[in-house]
Amino acid sequence: MTPYLLSGVRLHFDKVRNTNVLLAPERALMLDGVSYEILRRVDGIQSVVEIVEDLARAFDAPAEVIRGDVDAFLNDLKTQLLVGDRDA
Partner 1 sequence: MPEPNPPIALLAELTHRCPLMCPYCSNPLELVQKQQELTTDTWTRVFREAADIGVLQLHLSGGEPASRRDIVELTAAAHAAGLYTNLITSGIGLTQARLAALVNAGLDHVQLSLQGARPEMADRIGGYKGGYDRKMRVAELVTDAGLPLTLNAVMHRQNLADLGQTLDLALSMGARRIEVACVQFHGWATRNRASLLPTESQVEQLKKDIAIARDTYRNRMAIDFVPPDYYSDFPKACMGGWGSTGLVVSPAGQVMPCHAADSIPGLAFESVADRHLGEIWRSSHAFNAYRGTDWLPQPCQSCERRDVDFGGCRCQAAALAADPGATDPVCRKSPYRPKVDAMIEDMTSRASASDLTYRKFG
| Residue 43 interacting with partner 1 (CB under 8 A) | no
| Residue 14 interacting with partner 1 (CB under 8 A) | yes
| Residue 87 interacting with partner 1 (CB under 8 A) | no
Could you tell me which residues come within 8 angstroms of residue 63 by beta carbon, excluding any fewer than 6 positions away? 52, 53, 56
Q: How far is the CB of 31 from partner 1 (least distance, A)?
A: 12
Q: Are 6 and 84 in contact (CB under 8 A)?
A: yes
Q: Contacting partner 1 (CB under 8 A), which of 1, 4, 11, 21?
A: 21
What is the Cβ-side half-sphere exposure of residue 71, based on CA atoms within 13 angstroms? Answer: 7
| Residue 11 interacting with partner 1 (CB under 8 A) | no
Nearest alpha carbon to residue 20 among 30, 34, 10, 28: 30
Kindly list the residues in this chain that would bind partner 1 in the complex (CB under 8 A). 6-10, 12, 14, 16-17, 21, 23, 25-26, 28, 78-81
